[in-house]
Amino acid sequence: MKKFLLYLVAALIILSALLRYSLEFEGMQDTAQDQMVRALMRQNTGGIPNPDGLRVFMCGTASPLGLGRAQACVAILTPSHFYLIDVGAGAAEEIQRANLPVQRLQGVLLTHFHSDHIAELYEVNLASWVRGRPEPLKIFGPKGVRAVVKGINDTYALDRGYRMTHHGEELLPEHLGILRHETIDEATVLEDGDLSIKAYIAEHHPASPALGYRVEYRGRSVVISGDSNVTPVTAIASQGADLLLHDALSLPLVTGMAEAAEQAELTRLSKILYDVTDYHASVQSLIELNDKVDIGMVGYYHLVPVPATIVQRKFFERNLPDNYVVTDDGDWFELPSNSDEIKHIRP
Ligand SMILES: [Zn+2]
Ligand SMILES: [Zn+2]
């Protein structure tokens, strides 16, 4: 038996070496590439499973402080709805990697206009336009959204023209490539069938007004903070929610970095790090929220700083209540309709 296993292992090693060697030949490269691209196209037409309920995808969990993750982006999906909340740098790639159905993207809700929340608006617009989105993409946001959308439309006017000329107006009608805007405030409730999205005021001075959003669908609810301190308004907006996704700052990590920068005479960096601490929710304030408000699950995102090591991640996990998680790019939350179940699926 032992001898047989040895022969088997040796045969597998030889087989894998032969396979690897065969890829040196163009004929084998063509065959392998052909198989891969066919599988990819089948995946693109098949779409993702679509059970009835609210599904949340983390397409970006980073703040500007750190590397290795996409910046703020949360996707909200039901069988007949698809909205994005913020689209920071790297988010378009995460959306593509997860094969989200961008052809039915209905809108992007911006929480505020810091670059890490709007950087890839046009990338998402382009990807959904190319995939056949039937209506112009609508960008919702607080006062200021008009100027942001106008700027993007102007900046990419030549790009739109090139693509339309190259592929034909029938395939890429120009009006579907031009973003529309709608200014909203804390009194706004967007109703779309069984889905409703209500804005609330976030505290992120001087980026004001800034908004958070509460999404409701068939008995389930998700609150997305954008960038904000925890305030009494946060508590009201989160009361009874199934899931709260909140920006989270580790005060010991950021102040430690600021002090180290000061000692190294990196005074500009040190000042910026200290400044950052006053307009994001500290992990401590989020844990305290758990005692005041009834929330099913809390997910930290927009991590300040982005944990670069296991040790740094542990800072975010200190005293973490049982119903709290630190999210990563590619995480899913599934909230089946009219139930209490919350599934957190890691990639
Ligand atoms: Zn931010
Ligand atoms: Zn911000």
Q: Which residue has the higher pLDDT, 143 or 33?
A: 143
Report how far ligand 2's centroid is from the alpha carbon of 275 (Å): 12
Give whole-number Cα distances, 93 to 99, 234, 319, in Å: 10, 30, 33
Share of the chain above pLDDT 70, in %: 97
Pairing of strands 138-141, 180-183: parallel
pTM of the model: 0.91
pLDDT tens-digit series, residues 275-323? 999 999 999 999 999 999 999 999 999 999 999 999 999 999 999 999 9
Report how far ligand 2's centroid is from the alpha carbon of 156 (Å): 24
pLDDT tens-digit series, residues 11-48? 778 888 888 888 888 888 878 788 877 776 766 554 45
Q: Which domains, from first to last, does the chain contain?
A: 1-42 (no CATH), 52-345 (3.60.15.10)
Considering every ligand atom, which ligand is closest to the CA of 66? Answer: 1
Report how far ligand 1's centroid is from the alpha carbon of 117 (Å): 6
pLDDT tens-digit series, residues 199-222? 999 999 999 999 999 999 999 999
Which residues 6+ apart lie within 8 Å of 29 measured at CB?
Answer: 23
Report how far ligand 1's centroid is from the alpha carbon of 63 (Å): 5
Report how far ligand 1's centroid is from the alpha carbon of 340 (Å): 30
Give whole-number Cα distances, 280 to 162, 215, 239, in Å: 41, 21, 20
- For residue 168, the number of C-alpha atoms closer than 13 Å in the C-beta half-sphere is 2
Considering every ligand atom, which ligand is closest to the CA of 247? Answer: 1
Q: Is the pLDDT of residue 134 over 90?
A: yes
Pairing of strands 53-60, 332-336: antiparallel
Average pLDDT on 159-169 reads 96
Report how far ligand 2's centroid is from the alpha carbon of 80 (Å): 30
Considering every ligand atom, which ligand is closest to the CA of 112? Answer: 2
- The protein residues having their C-beta less than 5 angstroms from ligand 2 (an ion) are 114, 227
pLDDT tens-digit series, residues 228-256? 999 999 999 999 999 999 999 999 999 99
